[in-house]
Structure formats: structure tokens, C-alpha cells
Chains A and B, each alone.
Chain A
Amino acid sequence: MEIIVSITVGLLVAIGIWMLLDRGLLRVVLGIVVLGNGVNLAVFSAGRLDGRAAAFVTEAGAPALAANPLPQALVLTAIVIGFALFVFALAVLKRSWELHGNVETDRITAVAEEPAPDLPAPAQSVTPTSGVAAAPQAAGASPAPGVLPATPAAAKATRHGAAAGGQA
């Protein structure tokens, strides 16, 4: 049993690493999942695999045939966490696809290494010139509400920002 599990873990880790080295981000993300499952299986095997009895400790002591339940609990935790992270990675993958058109890892790294974009030109940032005059009081009183930008994520923010601005 242990040998089969060892070989499986080895195969999963090998496949996972091979996929991680791929140029496509999709395979990299899936590679993380395969690698994660290999690791989970390895942790699982730390608590003996031949458990044939329920791990209930009675007055008579622990049953001899039971596997150690702790690694199983650990793996359960790791699976849940791993799933959450996988979903996040998928979301990042989907968004990369939308923004970049393709998801080649080299291209993605190249974008992150590009020179930093400059802030919007003065012509735009001077627009809130009224803000310059109003700034001392605004900053003094409470800098938070009025200047909250409308986030593309939440259209609600615009409404609140406008409301706060209206009150001010």
C-alpha cells in the first residue's frame, strides 16, 4: 500500500512540476493543483495507511488497527485552504485572459517588468483645482469620504461618493 502511494505521490509531484514549467498560465495553475494533491497525499500517508478500525480511543486504549487520525484532519484543512487558493488563482487566470488576450507566462512577467506608468497628466489632475482650495479644510476635518474615488468594482461607491460630496 505504502509503495503504491509513494509512487503515486512521486508521479503527481513530477507531473505538477512539469506543468508548472509550462509556458501557458492555464497549465501552471492546473500544475499547482496536481502538485497540491501530491503533497496532500504525502501528508495523508504520514498517519499510516492500513487503518482498519475507527480511531476511537476507549477506556481500553487506542485500537491497534486504527490509523492516526491527525494527518487526516491536517489534510482536510489543507484541501479546504488549497481549494480557496485555487479559486483565486482561477479568477486571476480568467482576468489575465481578458486583459492580455493570451496567457503566456513570459508575456505576463514582461508586463510586470515594464516601466512604471506615469500618473495622469497635470491637465487631468488639475481638474480638481477646486479641490486644492478646499483641501486644507477637507484634509483637516476628515480626508476620507469626499475623495473616495468611484471604483470600477463597485458602482455603489460612486453613489456614496456623490452623496458625501453633496453633503460637503
Chain B
Amino acid sequence: MNTLIVSPLLIPLATLVATLLARRSPRAVTALSLAGALALAAAGLVLVGLAAQGQILAAQAGGWAAPYGITLVIDRLSAAMVAITGIVGSATIVFAMARDEDPARCRDFHPLVHGLLVGVCGAFITGDVFNLYVWFEVLLVGSFALLVLGGGKRRLSGTVVYVVLNLVATMMFLLAAGMLYGASGSLNMALLAQAFAAGEVPATAHAAVVLMLTAFSIKAALFPVFGWLPASYHVAWTPVSALFAGLLTKVGVYALIRLVTLFWPDAGVAHEVLLWVACATMLIGVLGAAAQVEVRRILSFHIVSQVGYMILGLALATPLALAGAVFYLIHHIVVKANLFFIGGIAARLTGSERLAAMGGLYARAPWLAVLFAIPALSLAGIPPLSGFWAKFVLVKASLDASAWIAAGVALLTGIFTLLSMSKIWNEAFLKPHPAGRAGERSAAGMRPAVWAVSALAVMTVAIGLGAGPVMDYAIAAAEQLGAPAGYIAAVTGTGGR
């Protein structure tokens, strides 16, 4: 059992080492890297299978009981996040096999991706606040190197923005972790949750949690601290920015969900603030996207806007709203990574990612138009795709909670999202290419990219058509989040198993 719990860490770590050892053969590196990512996805799905039965898996590092050992906990939310991380990681590596002239397409890409995945999975399964900080640093180091991979003025400039802002956020988190320990004498999330519930913590601990939530808000790109995201994500190589778009802000969202549900399970001032932040994030993000004229910059602003929906679910704090947030997380990671991938393919075929210089894709590559339409409509929330169910549940939860403004903003944001997507559709697909046939580029060697995109599109449709089981899982996950007692019992009860 313990082996399975640590597998989300061991698999990418082993793959990282293997890809470094196999450096001499590019073919072996790619094969090992893909095998590792698929194994991670498989391990994630096994964990989802176990977690679906309602079991919370917990392990203590070294067999030391809860306050001393570092705790790893996997509940329904963590298991789902690990599985989706494996799936998006695999898609990224398949996509990266496609032919590309970008200098980032080198063997260093693979170990770095797995380094990033270790950090992401670690953040999803840890049950210790300081350990969470360490995993955040691990994923940051990987993401820094991936972002700048390939070099060049533009990429370096984007990296500078990303590095500085993320380092500041990380320091805030470290300070908050230190303050929390000083005030409460524990770093174990379950024990902290117990102390918070019993009212045994001084006000300093609450202040530390506020500081921590601020740090995660920067990581999750919430209003008003989202500026770094659209300033940096568009400079990276396509698979890198798709991986970032899918996973990285969602680690921040996950941390927000985990800490708020554990420490402040009952709706309070923090939820009120988060509700307004969520509304502002949704609206400002989507309005920012309206002003953009490049595919990836439009999509970057949409990440900001979509994160607002997840925080809306967290802020409402009803079981249905939390279920909506979990469903939204799962749906969003797949759809957003896929849109970045498709943007990359479209740029390859037209020679640019500026909408003004793109065009003619509908006539030239109707299959790409279909592949774009699926995630784009899903993002906007058109039935029967996955985004519809995610938004439906969140809007229903807002109406149930009498949060009329939030429901209105959520619906309005959906309309603006559709407008943005139709802008990309009109400019890149319908409009003839400004340079005529001369502007068209060869699609040679793009087959793996199309496989990756198709697989994710099939997932989007599957989540949409088979929304029942996924939603049941999300509701069960929300039940676990809403009742931290089970989480606490799993951590403190298992001891040195």
C-alpha cells in the first residue's frame, strides 16, 4: 500500500534519472520519458480506483507517527489530480515528438518535464505544510528551466517576469509556514486542522493562513495578482506552455482548496473575500483576453478567468459548489492544455500565432477545425461538453446560495469566453490566409501532435457525455473536503503503518 502511495513521486523521479542516464540516445530518452508519463497516469488511475471506494490513503515517511514523520495523504481529490497530471504529462510528451524547428526540442526537455511532474504530484499528495513548500520549489525549478528552454531574447524576458514574481510568492509562503509553526507548534495539515477546529490556535496562526492564501493566490493567478501569467506563458515552446497552462496554476488552486477546507471549513470572512476575488478574476480575465490579438495570449488570459470559477466553488463552500470546483479542475486541465496544443499546431500550419497573420485553416485542415471546436466550445460551456456541466453545477450552487451577482458574473463570463473563441475561429480558421497559399506551411511530421490533441479531445467529449460518473466522483470528493474529520482520522489513526 505504501509503495502505491509514493508511486506518484517515485515514477517521475525514476524517469528523470533514467532519461538523464540515457542522454546519448534521443530515441531512448523519448521512449523512457513517454513510458514514465504513462506509468504515472496508470498509477493515478489505480489511486482513483482505490479512492473512489471512499478510502483515504495515508503514509508516514519512515514510519514515524503523525507529528514527526512527513505525511502523505491521498483522498479523492488528490488521486484525481495525480491521474490528470499523468494524462496531461503523457499528452505533452507525445506532442513534443512532433517535428519542430524550435531549439527547445532537445533531450533536456524530458528530464525537466519529469522534474516538474515530481513537484506537481508531490504538492498534490503531501499532508505537511512545509513539505508543500518544498514541492512547490521543486516544480518551480523545473518550470524555470522549461520556460527558458531554447533561449532567445523573448523567452528570457518572459522568464525574468515569471522567476521574480514566483520567488516573491514562494517567500511569502515560507514566511507563512514559519509563522504557522511558531503559532501552533505543528506543520502537519491534519493536526493543524484539528487545532483550528478546536479553537486552540492564537490569532497569529490565522494571520499566517491569510498570508499563505495570498501566496497561493499569486500562484493560482487570482485577481489582482495575475499579471505575471499572461506576461510569461506565451513565450515558451508550445508543449511547455500547454503543460504550464494545464497544471501549474491548478497546483495553486488545489492548495487553496486543501487549506481552506481543512482550516476554515465553515463559511466566514475569508469565503466572502474569496467570492469577490473569484468574481473579479472571472470578469477581468475574460475582458483582458478580449484585448489580445495572439492565440496564446488570449488563452493565457482565459486561464485567469477560468481559475475564477474554481475559486467561486471554493468560496461558496456548499457541497455542491465544492463538487463543481473539483469537476471544473478536472475538466479545465484537459481542455486548457488541449487549446494550447491546438494553438501550436495552428501556428505551425499558418506560420504565425498572431491572429492577423493567420487564416485559411478551415479550408485547409478541417480536422483541426473540429479538434479546435471541441475544447473551445467546452471552455465556453456549450452542452453537452464537459465545460457545460462544470459551469451548470457552479451556477446552480451560486443560485442555491443566493449569490446572485456571482451567478450573473459566471454566466456573463461564459458569453465573453464564447466571443473570444469565435474571434480565434473567425481569424485563424474562416478568414483566408492573408498571404494566400504562399503563407501555408507544411504539416510534415505533425502526426504525434495530432494524436495528443485527439486523445485529449476524446477525453473532453467523454467527460461531457459521461458526466454522471465523473460528477458522482466530484460530489464524493467534495464530501470528503467538506468533512475534514475523515482526513484527520486517516492521518492520525494510521500511525506507523
Contact between B447 and A139 (Cβ–Cβ < 8 Å)?
A: yes
CB contacts under 8 Å to A, within B335-373, are 347-348, 351-354, 357
Contact between A151 and B438 (Cβ–Cβ < 8 Å)?
A: no
Please tell me which one of the listed residues A81, A96, A119 contacts residue B441 in the complex, with CB atoms under 8 A apart: A119
Beta-carbon contacts of A106-142 to B below 8 Å, as 1s and 0s?
Answer: 0011011111111111100110110110010011101
The reply to whether the CB of A84 lies closer than 8 angstroms to some CB of chain B is yes
Please tell me which one of the listed residues A20, A74, A105, A143 contacts residue B168 in the complex, with CB atoms under 8 A apart: A20
The reply to whether the CB of A71 lies closer than 8 angstroms to some CB of chain B is yes
Find chain A residues with CB under 8 A from B107 CB.
Answer: 148, 154, 157
Contact between A70 and B140 (Cβ–Cβ < 8 Å)?
A: no
Contact between B148 and A148 (Cβ–Cβ < 8 Å)?
A: no
Beta-carbon contacts of B117-145 to A below 8 Å, as 1s and 0s?
Answer: 00000000000001001100100110011
Query: Given the interface contacts A149-B101, A152-B103, A157-B107, does A20 sit within 8 Å of B164 by beta carbon?
Result: yes
Find chain B residues with CB under 8 A from A4 CB.
Answer: none
In order of increasing CB-CB distance, the 3 nearest A-B pairs are A43-B178, A46-B182, A135-B444
Among residues of B, the one whose C-beta sits closest to the C-beta of A16 is B171
The reply to whether the CB of B420 lies closer than 8 angstroms to some CB of chain A is no
The reply to whether the CB of B174 lies closer than 8 angstroms to some CB of chain A is yes
The reply to whether the CB of A51 lies closer than 8 angstroms to some CB of chain B is no
The reply to whether the CB of B97 lies closer than 8 angstroms to some CB of chain A is yes
Q: Given A95-B156, A138-B445, 20 more contacts at CB 8 Å?
A: A35-B168, A35-B171, A77-B134, A88-B144, A99-B153, A108-B160, A108-B161, A111-B157, A112-B157, A116-B296, A116-B353, A122-B440, A125-B351, A139-B99, A139-B445, A139-B448, A145-B27, A148-B107, A153-B103, A161-B26
Beta-carbon contacts of A139-168 to B below 8 Å, as 1s and 0s?
Answer: 110111101110111100100110010000
Find chain A residues with CB under 8 A from B30 CB.
Answer: 144
Find chain B residues with CB under 8 A from A135 CB.
Answer: 99, 442, 444-445
**CA gap between A135 and B442 in the complex, in Å:** 10
**CA gap between A118 and B435 in the complex, in Å:** 13
Among residues of A, the one whose C-beta sits closest to the C-beta of B446 is A139
How near does chain A come to B492, taking the closest CB pair, in angstroms? 19
Please tell me which one of the listed residues A43, A118, A148, A164 contacts residue B106 in the complex, with CB atoms under 8 A apart: A148
Please tell me which one of the listed residues B164, B352, B447 contacts residue A32 in the complex, with CB atoms under 8 A apart: B164
Among residues of A, the one whose C-beta sits closest to the C-beta of B152 is A99
The reply to whether the CB of B235 lies closer than 8 angstroms to some CB of chain A is yes
How near does chain A come to B210, taking the closest CB pair, in angstroms? 16
Please tell me which one of the listed residues A71, A100, A121 contacts residue B178 in the complex, with CB atoms under 8 A apart: A71
Find chain B residues with CB under 8 A from A99 CB.
Answer: 152-153, 156
How near does chain B come to A48, taking the closest CB pair, in angstroms? 9
How near does chain A come to B296, taking the closest CB pair, in angstroms? 8
Please tell me which one of the listed residues A28, A43, A142 contacts residue B27 in the complex, with CB atoms under 8 A apart: A142
Among residues of B, the one whose C-beta sits closest to the C-beta of A99 is B153
Residues on B close to A: CB < 8 A? 24-27, 30, 97-103, 105-108, 130, 133-134, 137, 140-141, 144-145, 148, 151-154, 156-161, 163-164, 167-168, 171, 174-175, 177-179, 181-182, 187, 231-232, 234-235, 293-294, 296, 347-348, 351-354, 357, 438-442, 444-448
How near does chain A come to B446, taking the closest CB pair, in angstroms? 8
The reply to whether the CB of A55 lies closer than 8 angstroms to some CB of chain B is no
Decide if the interface of chain B is mainly helix, strand, loop or mixed. Answer: helix
Find chain A residues with CB under 8 A from B445 CB.
Answer: 131, 135, 138-139, 143, 147
Find chain B residues with CB under 8 A from A45 CB.
Answer: 182
Contact between A95 and B151 (Cβ–Cβ < 8 Å)?
A: yes
The CB with the most chain A CB atoms within 10 A, among B133, B156, B441, is that of: B156
**CA gap between A93 and B25 in the complex, in Å:** 32
How near does chain B come to A49, taking the closest CB pair, in angstroms? 11
Contact between A132 and B181 (Cβ–Cβ < 8 Å)?
A: no
Beta-carbon contacts of A13-56 to B below 8 Å, as 1s and 0s?
Answer: 00000001000010010001001100110111111000000000
Among residues of B, the one whose C-beta sits closest to the C-beta of A85 is B167
Query: Given the interface contacts A43-B178, A131-B445, A153-B106, does A116 sit within 8 Å of B439 by beta carbon?
Result: no
Query: Given the interface contacts A71-B181, A139-B448, does A119 sit within 8 Å of B153 by beta carbon?
Result: no
Contact between A122 and B351 (Cβ–Cβ < 8 Å)?
A: yes
**CA gap between A129 and B441 in the complex, in Å:** 11
